Amino acid sequence: MRRVSFFILERETALANLIRYRLMMQQAEHVQVFPALSECLYFMQKHFVPDFIIADLDLPEMNGSRFLTTVKELSNRIQVVFLSAHPDDVLLSQLMEEGASDYIFKSAQREEWIRELMKNLEYLSRTTTPAIQG
């Protein structure tokens, strides 16, 4: 994987740390887990924006569409990948039209969907330019 940075927003701490571990094993440059959306947005405004944000679609603070708009206002180059335990084709197509980079269904087969996430992130990191740090 190209040297890129990731922010992870996931309600389940153990799952967020597992994704972080897998990204670090693939030589990601910077991986940071945020327990709350407000902390992530504050960090992006004060420090830097990542190349990728992996976000649980079921965050209590803001719906996926509003979150995507907020992130894209900070930097249109951030790649946002949503995770959700609820497959919703209508919502998926709406988020993709609004600028999401990918949407992964968190199936009961955890290792399977995490492998799909890593494969898709690898592809996206090779085919997109990194976000501007600053």
CATH code assigned at 76: 3.40.50.2300
State the chain's maximal CA–CA distance in angstroms: 38
Average pLDDT over residues 107-126: 90
The pLDDT of residue 90: 84
In a domain, 132, yes or no: no
Average pLDDT over residues 78-106: 88
Where does the pLDDT of residue 131 fall: very low under 50, low under 70, confident under 90, or very high at 90 and above? very low
In a domain, 78, yes or no: yes
Average pLDDT over residues 17-34: 91
In a domain, 50, yes or no: yes
Contact present, 33 and 15 (Cβ < 8 Å): no
Which residues pair with residue 6 across a beta bridge? Answer: 31, 52
- Mean residue pLDDT across the chain: 87
- Count the domains in the chain: 1
In a domain, 86, yes or no: yes
In a domain, 46, yes or no: yes
